[in-house]
Amino acid sequence: MSEDRREAPDEELPERHGFARATGEAVIHQVQALTSLAATAGGTALGALPEPFGGLVDRSRAALEELLEIVPPITAEIDVLAEELSAKRASIQALQAELGALDLQLAVVERSLAPVQVWSHRWRRLQGSIRQALVKSP
**pLDDT tens readout for residues 100-136:** 999 999 999 999 999 999 999 999 999 999 999 888 8
Residue 16 pLDDT more than 90? no
Rounded (10°) angle between helices 3-12 and 19-46: 140
Q: How far is CA 94 from CA 29, 32, 80, 90, 104, in A?
A: 40, 44, 21, 6, 15
- Please tell me the predicted confidence (pLDDT) of residue 65: 79
C-beta separation of 29 from 9 below 8 A:
yes
Mean pLDDT (the chain) is 76
pTM, two decimals, is: 0.42
Residue 74 pLDDT more than 70? yes
Q: What 3-state DSSP class applies to 2?
A: coil
CA 85 to chain centre: 3
Query: Residue 122's CB: how many other CB atoms inside 10 A?
Result: 10
